[in-house]
A and B are shown apart, each in its own frame.
Chain A
Amino acid sequence: MSKEVLITVCTGTGGIASGGEDVLAAFREALSSAGITASCRERCRVQRVGCKGFCSQDVLVDVAVNGAITTYRKVRPDMVARIVSEHIVAGMPVAEWVVDGSYHAFHEKQKKVVLSHCGVIDPEEIQSYRAVGGYGAAERAVLSMTPEEIIAVIKRSRLRGRGGGGFPTGLKWELCARHTADTKYVVCNGNESDPGAFMDTSLMEGDPHSVIEGMIICAKAVGSHRGYIYTKAEYALAVKRLNRAIEHCYAAGFLGKGIFGSDFDFDVEVFPAPGAFVCGEATALLRSLEGKRGMPSAKIWRTAEKGLWNKPTVLNNVETFANIPKIIEKGSQWFSRLGTERSGGTKVFSLSGKVRNTGLIEVPIGTTLREIIFDIGGGIEGGKACKGVHIGGPTGGCIPAARFDMEVDYESLAQAGSMMGSGGMVVLDETSCIVDTTRFFVGVIQGESCGKCAPCRIGTKRMLEILERIAGGRAKEGDLELLEELAHSIRETSLCGLGMTAPNPVLSTLRYFRDEYEEHIRRKRCRAAVCKALLTYSVVESACTGCGACKRVCPADAIRGTRKKPHRIDANLCVRCGTCLDACKFNAIMKV
């Protein structure tokens, strides 16, 4: 019996949270314990890998026997013994634990470029990255390409900033390369902060070397000798793996003095930042990196001219840098053909919300929302109606289901009142209240405003208060108009990108879902039955058996009734906690 067996266990943040490290340890132990033949043990490897994308199915484990991959979902340590004995030893996969069709549907329409190594290689070992051709691009760039050549390739690839702004990357590098200065910096923005977004973090955790390699190529292109990866200290795993990767690079001669045997020097260090949403904004990030409070400032100078410590600086996002080695490796034409006319390549999104398949996905730019949500995401659970999708993080906007045939691109999203942002997608269905969702996002923005400019600091607070009034049934006529005017004013007067886009959730939902707002204000009704203050709990007399279960659990003593007779809920006393609804075994409590 001669088998090559490779077991890869997801140890991204999602994987670890679901017990990935324990599963990994269980496999190692099972394989080293008695019962496995020596020949098998020799050829059997267990490897940690980064996020495999389909996080709702974690811990995902791939078992490759002679190249034939079987994927197990939701693996727990106690399942390991059986997988080893039945599949690896006996050659019979454990069919009941293998992923189903949705797993394949999830992957079918994806095109993995940036994520191609993520979930495949061991992020903690440089050889694993080298084995898939890693650092070949950087070596070529450093040893045999001129800065002009590198920039030309990147420009032709039509790669645009993946942080959300969409500025052409090649042009950014060219601007920086043009400035002569004693010091230049390459900074990687890994300050991903959107609730529900984990693209950059997964990349830093699952394929840290690709980010570093991208930075090396950039450094060579612009003539910089110092790089920083700015990420949040709370992304402990990313910080750890990046630091380990950097350490390996220094040992291998890919960083430091005379990299790849050339006369080019490049140093990189990780800056574990205190962590603030606004520090994803370029000027705030640079101030924070300088050790000051991360507050945006007016862009009097381009970052390429006066950035970090007033020196020419290239600031790109994690995903942007991770694309670079692939472009150098496979050519600009290959890359540009993946996307649309204006924008090459793919984009990673994190798909979450009321969609069946949640996780990390990568699609060519130009893929339609319908494909993403229904084909990859598998549509809405329980056959509920899809209401829309909120794209681009808290300062993004909501696009209604009616416009799902739209191709996802920087321009089309902006026209629809949303934005690419960092690429978070939160799917909303009929049980999601638009007012409540908007209130949530505005709350996030308000809490993360740096406080520098009045429109953002106070304006978002006042928007939030109006939304709270609407959700709370306390809104009055004119509030909607005031909200709209305020939103427009904030957009026009705010200092930085965060403030300018802060009204997006309000304006986009007012554009597509105005009737839901009006319903809240005029009819005091929340059709999704989310806004507590507008809900009424009542007893369906025909269904009520008078068992008294609801009466016993009601914390407000709001339910009256005698045994065996239909009970009643006193709306004045009811605190709308929903405990009775859960307690009733006869579906006799109604929430409207």
Chain B
Amino acid sequence: MSTTVTLRIDGRNVTVEKFSTILDAARTLEIPIPTLCHHPDLVPYGGCRLCLVEIKGAPRPVASCTTFVKDGLEVTTSSPRLERLRKTTLELILSDHPRDCMTCERAGDCKLQELAYFYGIRDPRFEGERRIYRTKDKNPCIARDMEKCILCGLCVRVCDEIQGVAAIDFAYRGFRTMVTPPFERELDCEFCGQCVAVCPTGALTGAMWAQKGRQDMRDVETICPYCGCGCTLTLHIRRNEVIRVSSRRETLNEGWLCAKGRFGYEFIHRTDRLKKPLVRIVPKSEAAALVKSGWSHERAASFFREVSWDDALDLVAARLGEIKERHGSDAIGGISSARCTNEENYLFQKFIRGAIGTNNVDHCARY
């Protein structure tokens, strides 16, 4: 039995794997079909109804994301009728969506906004009630503005199908349907933020993103500073500040991150970062006592005075030299970091071995 299927989309032949959807097939031809609820890593859903296409001989349009290809199928992805239906559906969605793109964190990065733009919908014809949710979820990581939720179900599905947590689901019926943690409690989950990553609108955003900027951003791709998974992070930078972290789907981690990777970047810009070389001015016993109990960062800082780089480096070089002279190279040891780069680790051991002259070099792999 053949494992491929050939069909015609907008007059072009395409051959794809069996059990592909029409949407998959259209995307291999780079034919754009609008979607709001589709994600290639999740089970097809068919909720937004924007990906409707016409199949020759079928009485009504079908959702291309939930229809398998068949040999000889003739598919039309755009026609006046389809565009009219899509526009009506979009107008319906927009009729129950706040028009506050001016202050929305996702403006410019919002799939709904983009579709409204392409379909030229400024004022939807269907005015009516909007869902209003007065209470806001106070969890520390994920800002949940459910008035902006279009119920595409991506967050619900990613939480279940990818993360295996199922912290949220749909509740209520009809127009009152909403996505919520059990019993409408506050979100209490792993805070991986996969839901934030897949949300097409501003309904789910990082709580720490608020008013940090939407334009003049620069993206830098790098590697997560935490565990050994080695996830690729995209840092979003505005004016020398990391204001958001995301990850592309085309990465080793497929765009999925954990709470630390996605939300744990604030330390970079903490004011208590070390900014100048320091030299001790009080006896070590005071520091030892402080470490054992009643730690305070201010007190710890008061044990030191700031010096210039040259002074600090000269001092260290001189003292190390002395010790080496008096006790030999092996009286000196270097402990490196599993959180520093390969290059830095290479240089560190080269320094210890080459300049100090000892093999007393190790790092923290054992803890």
- A-side residues, CB < 8 A to B, are 276, 278, 293, 295, 297-298, 300, 446-455, 457-462, 465, 482, 485-486, 489, 491-495, 500
Contact = CB atoms under 8 A, between A and B. Distances in A.
A451 B172 contact: yes
B66 A458 contact: no
A461 B60 contact: no
Contacts of A494: 49
B96 A486 contact: no
Contacts of A297: 45-46, 66
B123 to A, nearest CB: 14
A489 B170 contact: no
Interface in B44-98: 44-49, 52, 60-61, 63, 66-68, 84-85, 88-89, 92-93, 95-96
B128 A454 contact: no
A484 to B, nearest CB: 12
A479 B338 CA distance: 68
B145 interface: no
A452 B63 contact: no
A485 B92 contact: no
Contacts of A278: 173
A485 B85 CA distance: 10
B175 interface: yes
Contact of A448 (B49, B151, B174): B174
* Shortest beta-carbon contacts, A-B, top 7: A451-B177, A298-B66, A298-B46, A458-B92, A461-B175, A462-B126, A489-B88
A500 B88 CA distance: 15
Contacts of B173: 276, 278, 447-451
A461 B151 contact: no
Nearest to A468: B128
Contacts of B95: 458, 462
B170 A293 contact: yes
A492 B54 CA distance: 11
Contacts of B150: 454
9 contacts: A278-B173, A297-B45, A446-B175, A451-B173, A453-B48, A454-B49, A454-B89, A454-B151, A489-B88
A458 B96 contact: yes
Contact of B93 (A458, A489, A492): A458
A454 B128 CA distance: 15
B169 interface: yes
A179 to B, nearest CB: 17
A457 B85 contact: no
**Interface bin, chain B:** 35 or more
Interface in B326-350: none
Interface in B168-197: 169-170, 172-177
A119 to B, nearest CB: 35
B126 A493 contact: no
A449 B48 CA distance: 14
Contacts of A295: 170
Contacts of B200: none
Contacts of A298: 44-46, 63, 66-67
B172 A462 contact: no
A300 B44 contact: yes
Given A450-B173, A455-B89, A485-B88, A465 B46 contact: no
Contacts of A276: 173
Given A482-B126, A493-B88, 19 more contacts: A298-B45, A298-B46, A448-B174, A449-B173, A449-B174, A450-B173, A451-B174, A453-B46, A455-B88, A455-B92, A458-B126, A459-B92, A461-B129, A462-B126, A492-B61, A493-B49, A494-B49, A495-B49, A500-B60
Contact of B47 (A454, A482, A486, A492): A454
A228 B135 CA distance: 41
Interface of B: 44-49, 52, 60-61, 63, 66-68, 84-85, 88-89, 92-93, 95-96, 125-126, 128-129, 150-151, 153, 169-170, 172-177
Contacts of B63: 298, 495
B172 to A, nearest CB: 7
Contacts of B93: 454, 458
Contacts of A453: 46-49
Nearest to A469: B128
A81 B46 CA distance: 63
B49 A462 contact: no
B66 A492 contact: no
A489 B90 CA distance: 12
Contacts of A482: 125-126
A167 to B, nearest CB: 16
A300 B93 CA distance: 25
Residue in A459, A485, A492 with the greatest tally of chain B CB atoms within 10 Å: A492
Contacts of B84: 489
| Most central of B48, B60, B92 by chain A CB within 10 Å | B92
Contact of B60 (A447, A451, A452, A492): A492
Nearest to A478: B125
Contacts of A458: 92-93, 95-96, 126, 175
Contacts of A452: 45, 47, 151, 153, 170, 177
Contacts of B175: 446, 449, 451, 457-458, 460-461
A276 B173 CA distance: 9
Among A297, A449, A458, A494, the most chain B Cβ lie within 10 Å of the Cβ of A458
A297 B63 CA distance: 11
B242 to A, nearest CB: 36
A447 B126 contact: no
B85 A492 contact: yes
Contacts of B67: 298, 300
A446 B174 contact: yes
A486 B174 contact: no
B61 to A, nearest CB: 6
Contacts of A457: 151, 174-175, 177
Contacts of A461: 96, 128-129, 174-175
B57 to A, nearest CB: 16
A495 B85 CA distance: 13
A489 B47 contact: no
A300 B170 CA distance: 22
Contacts of A491: 60
Contacts of B49: 453-455, 493-495
A293 B169 contact: yes
Given A300-B68, A451-B177, A453-B48, A489 B169 contact: no
B6 to A, nearest CB: 20
A565 to B, nearest CB: 46
Contacts of B52: 492-493
Contacts of A492: 52, 60-61, 85
Nearest to B36: A454
Contacts of B48: 453-454
A382 to B, nearest CB: 36
A458 B152 CA distance: 13
